[in-house]
Amino acid sequence: MKHLDICEIFYSLQGESSYMGMPCVFVRLAGCNLRCSYCDTTYSHSRGRMMSFEEIISEVSQYPAKLVELTGGEPLWQEESPALMQALLERGYTVLLETNGSLYLDEVPRDVIKIVDIKCPGSSEGDSFQFANLKLLAPHDEIKFVLTNYPDYCFAREIIQRYQLAGRGLHFSPVTQLLPAGLLAEWLLADGLPVKLGMQLHKMLNLR
């Protein structure tokens, strides 16, 4: 029987990505291989509770939404997580994966919608991204940059240009205590970058 180390399972509105505002069941896996400077879920770095796939799916099914996100921590830090994604797909769920991009995505089922975070220098993990993962992205996948300052913005802009990422689902999210969203909006307007400004709706509504 397959098991995963689970930090928490909860029901809320999706706060980021193109699915922002939609009811979603979140499966937060315990453990992470990175230590980002602005991490707001450090509690997920500790051990959670071991749950079987049957227990996880049973808890997920208690909620009315058919949208599920695996998040963390880093979900791919646990090798059985792709199998859970496949099991959820087979039960008719739309599955999102929030991943830091430092681990290879080749085992992730293709129908999973991957939201891949390319870490900027301000995260203190700016060298962690596996650029080979860009070749594994499907048209429905999305890329996120979390920004702390203008050098982060310049880094993200350069990555988009170098790897010709325009036309993909691109999101810039400011670390609000470090970078005012209005200032980031001014930079985006000045450059006309083909990205969406992300504002973490769940935090604005004081949701989990």
d(CA 109, CA 156): 27
Q: Is the pLDDT of residue 204 over 90?
A: no
Domain boundaries, the chain: 3-204
Give the residue from 51, 1, 10, 20 showing the smallest Cα distance to 142.
20
Q: Which two tokens stand for residue 40?
A: 């707001």
Answer for the pair 5, 47: CB distance below 8 angstroms, yes or no: yes
pLDDT tens per residue, range 168-200: 999 999 999 999 999 999 999 999 999 999 988
Under the banding of pLDDT at 50, 70 and 90, the label for residue 208 is confident
Mean pLDDT, the chain, rounded, equals 96
pLDDT for the residue numbered 145: 98
Q: Which CATH class is domain 3-204?
A: alpha beta
